[in-house]
Amino acid sequence: MQPGKSFQTIGIISRPRRSNLSVVAPPLLKWLEERGVQALYDEETAGSLTGSTKGKTRQQVADASQLLLVLGGDGTLLAAARLAAPRGIPILPINMGSLGFLTSFTLDELYPALEDALGGRFSVSERVMLYVELERGGKVIETQRVLNEAVVNKGALARMIELELSIDGDFVCRYRADGLIVASPTGSTAYSLSAGGPIVHPGVESFIITPICAHMLSDRPLVVRDSSSIQMKLSGNTESVFLTLDGQRGIPLQATDIVRISRSKELLKLIQPPRKSYFEILRNKLKWGEA
């Protein structure tokens, strides 16, 4: 819990083109105004409001906010996480999507959750993020922080790719597969899970390495400590191969490109429902125990 901590400025980041946003946003802004809270909102939220109201860029919203309120699904939260973590501000996630492992508050819980946040009554789960470097020709040409996963994968019509995996400088394996996923514990319930990887509790300090449709059935998921330095290097066919970050950005790769992944210095502060455990969320989302 965070007793005594309150927020005077709340930034709102919304899922684009969400049909019920126009019903949620106006009363939300009025509710915050009545409590003396300054609300900043992005261009997606502004599009759901009447009149000529203009929103700010998401970066501008994050720069000026003490808390980010995310209205959307996990994809919206992943985008917000890259803004919130470097600034050290927490995210309050409200699920307006479908599955929503990360956006664990329901829309019905929006105002009670805000009341608790404004009163300093909330719990924060600190989530490890990945720091990803792309090296080409001996130079780092791209760096990104991601919450769920970094994936080296082939395009839709490309042949199986070949890549070499090393951990802390030690050669591990040469994979022939559709791709390779490196996920955080938070990301273990995302793409890695659909590819056959394990579910890892977010409190376990680890990375999960999961091959996608590996040529050898003996190529299985691997869990390593999150202090490890992971390196993936392309070899063989490099036609239509991409580095995909949190499923939201794809960077075309070239022969001999090297992808390095380590633990980011920044942690994401994610506000959690006080009466829902991690396992309750899993049971509800994955329909465990249902016929």
Active site residues: 74
**Strands of the chain, DSSP E:** 9-14, 38-41, 67-72, 91-95, 123-136, 139-146, 149-154, 161-167, 170-177, 179-183, 206-212, 222-225, 230-235, 241-245, 249-252, 258-272
Give the single-character DSSP code of 50: S
What residue spans of the chain are helical by DSSP H?
21-34, 43-46, 58-63, 74-87, 110-118, 191-194, 278-286
- What is the C-alpha separation between 273 and 177, in angstroms, rounded? 39
- What is the C-alpha separation between 128 and 148, in angstroms, rounded? 9
- What is the C-alpha separation between 111 and 42, in angstroms, rounded? 20
Burial of 169 (0-12, 13-18, 19+ CB in 10 A): exposed
What are φ and ψ of residue 86, in 5° steps? Answer: -65, -25
- Are the CB atoms for 208 and 198 separated by under 8 Å? yes
- What is the C-alpha separation between 138 and 135, in angstroms, rounded? 6
- Are the CB atoms for 53 and 42 separated by under 8 Å? no
